[in-house]
Structure 1
Amino acid sequence: MSQYWMLIAILLPIVGGILVKVIPFSDRRIMKIYLECIMIVTSVIVFLLAGMRPQGKLEVVHFMQDLSISFRIDGMSMVFSVLVAALWPLAMLYSFEYMEHEKHQRVFFMFYSITYGVTLGISYASDMLSMYFFYELLTLVTVPLILHSLSRQAIHATRKYLYYSLGGAAFALIGIVFLMVYGNQLDFVMGGVLNLEKIGDKKQVLLVVYLIACMGFGVKAAMWPMGSWLPDAGVAPTPVTALLHAVAVVKAGVFAIIRLTYYSFGTEFLRGTWVQAVVMAFAMFSIVYGCTRAVMERHIKRRLAYSTISNLSYIIFSAAIMTPLGLVGALTHMICHACMKICSFLCAGAVMHQTEKMYIDDLNGYGRKMPVVFGCFTVSALGLMGVPGLAGFISKWNIAKAAVASERLQAYLGVGCLLISAFLTSIYMMSIVFRAYFPGRNFRYEDIEEVKDPSWRMCLPLMLFALAVICLGLFSGPLVRFFTDVASGMY
């Protein structure tokens, strides 16, 4: 398959999104069909690129020496691009009904579509500079989505997101500069690109730089203490927050950390050093911190946001083990968490859309009135808890297996953090489920007589995501084997 299809996959949703503001659609239904067709065609191209992977690198813009914007597909690109391609068309379908009565729909869908192409740019980037370019572009195109309502809370959340993201970008840029000076190249190579002869006695300096860059990328990954922007960003429309928390922004953060660790600095250079211990410590603290805050939170979207902070740090912790098994665990949870979290977020959005209720205390009895929504939410909740047979169990099992196999005391402590997190997750997720299905003796269903499930446009994505959580739990073997090949450098 030609390398130019990578560029087509990136540009199609970007150009298609821009044209939403240009084409004079006579009917909103035609605009929605147009957008959904773009999403589906783009996803088909991404699937074909993964199945018939083009060899070599496509250089689009050349700056000077080895600096360019270029694309190449390797194992990591396949994982991230297929994840994005699988979720985005369904999220777009869901958003059509959710945004039906919102203002500025054309602006919303324009940036929603553009974000898809930019995320694919991050995925297909062949080197650190190309990834950084699209990584920063992702910040710019998601700002209008968070700002959509133009409320005071939205303005505050947008400013916070922008300040944190720009600060993190500055830290990440420091890492790129040092890679240019002390690396053989900026291209992603499994095992890293550092030149030990150039480094000489400056290893400690490079370790500090790695930590700075890791924390910079950790802003989008919402790792403590850089993740306080994420719960505030919940003021955005639910289709936005679902992709912020499940696919585009936060997964771009952990994807960049994995690239930085395994493909730029290299695990051989980092493993066993103090910086590995520091990153693992931050990840472990974030796991417990996110769960604890989630238990305390009463707003449903903010509770799920703190859950995201915790689960993203699962991925960072596993990646910080810096072994092939650790990378397998990180990739497995990256995929499984995306399906579970987008399902739970879209379920929460469906409840808010149908009832305008956003606090957990107001959800009594809704389980029987909205069986599809809360049935799917229950599946995602059980998955996030790590119940065997569902996606969350497989990913947590692989992370724990990698931690035990590493034979590091700190990794053993990390397993303890996973167990604490599983217990707290059962509290903050199942409390919602129990309240929905068992409202108590004094509750009267007559008070919520008009509550019902949304239409098929919202229910179909929920059911497919819930089905994916089940299938990933029952049939994860081929996926884990593929991740094992990626971790061993075969792709």
Structure 2
Amino acid sequence: MNLYVLVLPIMIPILCGIGIMVFPVKDKKIRNILLELVVVINTILTLFILFHAPQGTLSLFSLGDKLVMTLRVDGLAAFFAGIVSCLWPLATLYAFEYMEHDERTDVFFGFYTITYGVTMGVALSGNIVTMYLFYEALTMVTLPLVIHTMTKEAKRATRKYLYYMIGGTAFAFIGMVFYVLFSHNMEFKYGGNLNIIALSSHIHVVHLVYLMAFFGFGVKAAIFPFHGWLPDASVAPTPVTALLHAVAVVKSGVFAIMRFTYYCFGAEVLKGSWAQRIALSFAMITIVYASTMGVKETHFKRRMAYSTVSNLSYILLGVTMMSPLGLLAGMSHMLFHAIMKISGFFCVGAVMHRAHKEYVYELDGIGLQMPKTMTAFVVSSCSIIGVPLFAGFVSKWKIAQSLFEGGGTLEYAAVFVLLYSALMTAIYLLTVAVRGFFPDSDALGKMAHDEEKASDPSWKMLLPLGIFSIAIVFIGLKAEPILTVLTTVANGVF
């Protein structure tokens, strides 16, 4: 297969998104059909490329002596690209109904589709410079999506989003420059590519730079104390927040940390160091903080946002174990969380769209009015909590295994953090389910007199929810084939 096909999954969505804004289609129905068709074709093309991965690296152009833009498919690239390409068509379909009454849908869907292409660029990057450029481009193309409603809250959230990302950019840039200067070559290589012999007398500098890059890329991964942008970004339309919290932005953050840890610096260089302990500690702090805030938060979508903050650091717990099992645990939770969290956010969006309710205390009886939507929410919630027979249990079990393999005091403390978080997660998610399906008599009486009763959305919203719910249960029962594939990636075989 010609290496230039790697450009197509990136350029097709970008050009399509620009075309929607420059040459708008007056008939929204036709535009939606064309847009979904393009997204589906791009997904099919991407999956074909991943299953027939071309060997070698595609050099696009050079920015200098060592600054070469390259694309490549290895195991980790295929993993992230597969997640993005499979979820995007369903997210786009969901967005059609959610945004049907919006007046600026051409701009919205334009940037929404461009984001698909840029995220694929992050996934398929062949070296740190290429990934960094696409990574920062992702910030730029998602800014118009966060500010889309143009309310005061949206403008404030966008400014905060931008400030946090600029700060993260600076720290990540330091790590990138260090790697460019002291690596054998620019390409990602499992096990790392640093010239450790030349840096042997400055190993503490290596650890310091790694930690700076960890927090730099960790801004998008919402690591404490750089998480504040994520709950505030919930003011964006739900199709945006679902992608921000489940697929594009936050997953790009943890993906970048995986790349930098295992394919740039190398886990062996970092394992047992003070940098590893600090990174692990902040992941633990984030989980405890975000889980506690989830219980406290009464706004439905912000509560789910704190759940995202917590679960992202579940992934980082695995990654910071600096072991193949740790990487496997992080990858499995990254995949399963993407499915269960996008489903959860879509349920929240359906409730806001059909019932116009935003706060948890308003949700009494909503499960009786929107049974299909809230059933999907219960499935998603059980998985996020880690109930056996659901996908989330599988990945959390792997995370616990990697912690026990680590065997240190800090790792054992992290196991208790997981248990605490599971309890808090059960409280802030199951209280919604109980309110929804088992309202008190006063709420039932009020529902009986409501002139406008909520109902489940159309098939455009329900189809993605149904597919995600089936996937969550199926993975919970039959996760072994997926884990087998991920194990080959985690061990550097593919």
Q: Normalising by the residue count of structure 1, what TM-score does the alignment of the two structures yield?
A: 0.99
| Cα distance in 1 for residues equivalent to 2:26 and 2:196 | 62
Map of 1:336 onto structure 2: 336
Map of 2:246 onto structure 1: 246
Letter in 2 for 1:126: G
Map of 1:406 onto structure 2: 406
Map of 2:204 onto structure 1: 204
2:143 equivalent to 1:143: yes
Q: CA deviation at 1:4?
A: 1.6
Q: Retained in 1: the 8 A contact 2:66–2:180?
A: no
Letter in 1 for 2:382: L
2:490 equivalent to 1:487: yes
Map of 1:289 onto structure 2: 289
Identity of aligned residues (%): 46
Superposed, 1:191-340 pairs within 5 Å as 191-340=191-340
Cα deviation code 1:108-128 (max 9, x no counterpart): 000000000000000000100
| Cα distance in 2 for residues equivalent to 1:37 and 1:48 | 16
Letter in 1 for 2:309: I
Q: Which of 79-88 and 176-185 deviates more?
A: 176-185
Map of 1:131 onto structure 2: 131
Q: Secondary structure at the match of 1:201?
A: helix
2:389 equivalent to 1:389: yes
Q: Which of 361-370 and 404-413 deviates more?
A: 404-413
Q: Secondary structure at the match of 1:200?
A: helix
Q: Retained in 2: the 8 A contact 1:5–1:45?
A: no
Q: How many pairs align?
A: 491
Q: Retained in 2: the 8 A contact 1:329–1:402?
A: yes
| Cα distance in 1 for residues equivalent to 2:276 and 2:449 | 55
Q: Equivalent of 1:446, from 445, 448, 452?
A: 448
Letter in 1 for 2:456: D
Q: CA deviation at 1:5?
A: 1.7
Map of 2:437 onto structure 1: 437
| Cα distance in 1 for residues equivalent to 2:2 and 2:41 | 17
| Cα distance in 1 for residues equivalent to 2:296 and 2:449 | 27
Map of 2:167 onto structure 1: 167
2:375 equivalent to 1:375: yes
Map of 1:154 onto structure 2: 154
Q: CA deviation at 1:408?
A: 1.8
Q: Which of 404-413 and 308-317 deviates more?
A: 404-413
Question: Residues 447 and 253 (structure 1 numbering): CA distance in 2 closer, same or farther, change over 3 Å?
Answer: farther
Q: Secondary structure at the match of 2:63?
A: strand
Q: CA deviation at 1:102?
A: 1.1
| Cα distance in 1 for residues equivalent to 2:185 and 2:139 | 26
| Cα distance in 2 for residues equivalent to 1:191 and 1:356 | 50
Q: CA deviation at 1:24?
A: 4.2
2:481 equivalent to 1:472: no
| Structure 2: 5+ residue stretches without partners | none
Q: Secondary structure at the match of 2:22?
A: coil
Q: Retained in 1: the 8 A contact 2:24–2:106?
A: no
Q: CA deviation at 1:224?
A: 0.2
Q: Retained in 2: the 8 A contact 1:354–1:452?
A: yes
Q: Retained in 2: the 8 A contact 1:135–1:252?
A: yes
Map of 1:460 onto structure 2: 463
| Cα distance in 2 for residues equivalent to 1:468 and 1:273 | 39
Cα deviation code 1:335-388 (max 9, x no counterpart): 000011000000000000001110010011010110110010000000011011
| Cα distance in 1 for residues equivalent to 2:405 and 2:397 | 12
Q: Which of 20-29 and 307-316 deviates more?
A: 20-29
Q: CA deviation at 1:64?
A: 2.1
Cα deviation code 1:177-204 (max 9, x no counterpart): 1111221122110000111222131111
| Cα distance in 1 for residues equivalent to 2:11 and 2:24 | 21
| Cα distance in 1 for residues equivalent to 2:354 and 2:61 | 47
Map of 1:112 onto structure 2: 112
Letter in 2 for 1:477: E
| Cα distance in 2 for residues equivalent to 1:217 and 1:385 | 26
Cα deviation code 1:130-171 (max 9, x no counterpart): 000000000000000000011100000000000000110010
Map of 2:353 onto structure 1: 353
Letter in 1 for 2:462: C
2:103 equivalent to 1:103: yes
| Cα distance in 2 for residues equivalent to 1:235 and 1:396 | 30
Q: CA deviation at 1:10?
A: 0.5
Q: CA deviation at 1:22?
A: 2.5
Q: Retained in 2: the 8 A contact 1:153–1:235?
A: yes
Q: Secondary structure at the match of 1:184?
A: coil
| Cα distance in 2 for residues equivalent to 1:402 and 1:72 | 29
**What value does the CA root-mean-square deviation take over the aligned residues?**
0.9
| Cα distance in 1 for residues equivalent to 2:454 and 2:176 | 53
Q: CA deviation at 1:302?
A: 0.3
Superposed, 1:7-18 pairs within 5 Å as 7-18=7-18
Q: Secondary structure at the match of 1:197?
A: helix
| Cα distance in 2 for residues equivalent to 1:20 and 1:397 | 44
Q: Secondary structure at the match of 2:398?
A: helix
| Structure 1: 5+ residue stretches without partners | none
Q: Retained in 1: the 8 A contact 2:14–2:117?
A: yes
| Cα distance in 1 for residues equivalent to 2:366 and 2:89 | 28
Q: CA deviation at 1:407?
A: 1.4
| Cα distance in 2 for residues equivalent to 1:442 and 1:450 | 16
Q: Secondary structure at the match of 1:192?
A: coil
